[in-house]
Amino acid sequence: MPDSRVAQVEVAIVGAGLVGSTLACALAAHGVKTALVDRLDPRAMTTDRFDGRASAVAASGQRLLRAIGVWPHLENRGEPIREIRVSDGDAPLFLHYAYTDVGDEFLGTMAENRFLRAATFARMAELEGKLHLIAPAAVSHMSETTDAAVLHLADGREIKASMVVTAEGRESKLRDQAGIAVTGWTYPQIAIVATIGHEKPHRGIAHERFLPAGPFAILPLPDDAGVHRSSLVWTERADAAGAYLALNDAHFLAEIDERVGGFLGKLSLIGPRFSHPLGLQFAQVYVKGRLVLAGDAAHGIHPIAGQGLNLGYRDVAALTEVIVDAKRLGLDIANPDALGRYERWRRADNLMMAGVTDVLNRLFSNDVGPIKAVRDLGLAIINRVPPLKRRFMRHAMGTVGDLPRLMRS
């Protein structure tokens, strides 16, 4: 008789965060038998006190979520980004994007991470039989045979698969156990995250204001019970962030209001505050044997351009494509040619975005006069040259480059 403590699937994914859960849905929707393992109870990941963040899902990411059946579960939970306004402190020059300049597709959609997670979990329930969620469960280690990978769980259970994907995040245990080196550095910055209410509507406009300590972003969220809401991502010096976080609500809001400038009217604080250290890192390889890296386990970037999750979604779409293509051809889905294609495809894009965000953060997170003059001129030039501006907008939407099939129109 088969051992009831040994599960057999085609792909085992470790990490049920936004990337891991989306990958599980994508593979199962394409008929790939998948197991998803996480050390946390899924119900804990969908509360408003889990991490407080919201994400800008680019247009290409929305195409992916629609294609795999996740998007319908996010109805009325996301706010379309109709415009983006970028300014440098109090400088009169700025950069303005409007979705109507490039077509009828919104620049993206802002959604709270808890609702994105809830949407993937709801889709998983529809894929029961093809997708097995094993949580809470801790992974001890992974081993390999000639034709399979084996996940060993702390409770003695095993999961056999052709491939294991680690989507555990920046502190990936399986990546480190495999001896995959990571290059990176921390920034002397902390991201302060909160949800704010405001008197005046945001009209679907995302604001990013560059201040000497780092970018200060006000990102539109759907109204809730008649209250206008936005997500605040305030990048502050690491040596000063603690003092701001320790302020009472009234003084904390006063600091926000000083940076916002009053255009949203009276502000209020909704829910708790959160803080996250910032850094950049990328793995030296994305594939080792039957282990594959995706999302922040492979690359982590500065949130200055709001592209971290979107890079992870492109990993999902590319990896799904190479796995499904290999399966349709009757090949081992972990064959070196397929996984080599995934690594080449994603590594170049991820490294380029890591470099761009690093340069932007270093360029804009200061108040040096000559540098400020050059960057303000750059913003003005982009704003006044329509073909150049449209190109930058399409990059922000994730609709340029060698897109996986799930992200094409």
- Predicted confidence (pLDDT) per residue in 170-218, tens digit: 999 999 999 999 999 999 999 999 999 999 999 999 999 999 999 999 9
CA–CA separation, 165 vs 17, rounded Å?
13
Q: For 138, how many CA atoms within 13 A lie in the half-sphere containing its CB?
A: 4
Question: Would you call 344 exposed, middle or buried from its count of C-beta atoms within 10 A (0-12, 13-18, 19+)?
Answer: exposed
pLDDT at 66 over 90: yes
Rounded Cα–Cα distance for residues 233 and 192 (Å) = 6
Residue 300's DSSP bridge partners are 281
Q: Which two tokens stand for residue 71?
A: 């998007």
Give which of 364, 357, 233 is closest to 304, Cα–Cα: 357
- Indicate whether 3 pLDDT > 70: no
State residue 159's pLDDT score: 97
CA separation for the pair 120, 111 (Å, rounded): 13
Neighbour count for residue 279 (Cβ, 10 Å): 14
pLDDT (0 to 100) of residue 367: 86
Query: How far is Cα 404 from Cα 316, in angstroms, rounded to an integer?
Result: 9
In this prediction, residue 2 carries a pLDDT of: 42
Structure tokens at 49: 């006190």
- Mean pLDDT of all residues belonging to the chain: 94
For residues 337 and 324, give the distance between their C-alpha atoms in angstroms, rounded to a whole number.
Answer: 13
Percent of the chain having pLDDT more than 90? 87
Q: What's the chain's length in residues? A: 409
Q: Given this model, what pLDDT does residue 339 score?
A: 97
Q: Is it the case that residue 327 has pLDDT exceeding 50?
A: yes
Highest mean pLDDT: which range of 13-22, 362-371, 385-394: 13-22
Domains of the chain as residue ranges with CATH: 6-184+280-407 (3.50.50.60), 187-277 (3.30.9.10)
Task: With H, G, I as helix, E, B as strand and everything else as coil, classify residue 290.
Answer: coil
pLDDT of residue 288: 98
CB distance 369 to 89 below 8 Å: no
pLDDT average, residue stretch 332-346: 97
9 with 232: CB under 8 angstroms?
no
Q: What mean pLDDT comes out for the span 376-405?
A: 92
d(CA 409, CA 261): 38
Interior angle at CA 278, CA 277 and CA 283, nearest 5: 120
Count the Cβ atoms, other than its own, within 10 Å of residue 328: 10
The reported pTM is 0.95
User: What is the spatial distance between Cα 322 and Cα 298, in angstroms, rounded to a whole number?
Assistant: 17
CA 258 – CA 209 distance, rounded (Å)? 12
56-60, 85-89, 109-113, 250-254: which has the minimum mean pLDDT? 85-89
* Closest to 232 in 3D by CA, of 45, 93, 52, 36: 52
Q: Which one, of 89, 95, 92, lies nearest residue 365 by Cα?
A: 89
**pLDDT at site 4:** 57
The two most distant CA atoms of the chain are separated, in Å, by: 75
**What pLDDT does residue 213 have?**
95
Q: What are phi and psi of 172, to 5 degrees?
A: -55, 120
Cis peptide before 220 (omega within 30 of 0): no
Residues 314 and 170: their CA atoms lie apart, in Å, by 17
Note the pLDDT tens digit of each residue in 116-171: 999 999 999 999 999 999 999 999 999 999 899 999 999 999 999 999 999 999 99
Q: Which residues contact 116 (CB under 8 A, 6 or more apart)?
A: 18, 55, 57, 74
**CA proximity to 316, closest of 395, 181, 407:** 407
Mean local confidence (pLDDT), 23-49: 95
Q: Which candidate, 178, 181, 164, places its Cα nearest to that of 334?
A: 164
C-alpha–C-alpha distance, residues 182 and 200, integer Å: 45
- Lowest pLDDT segment from 44-53, 104-113, 152-161, 307-316: 44-53
Q: What phi, psi does 57 have (nearest 5°)?
A: -85, 115
Helices (runs of H) and strands (runs of E) counted in the chain:
10, 21
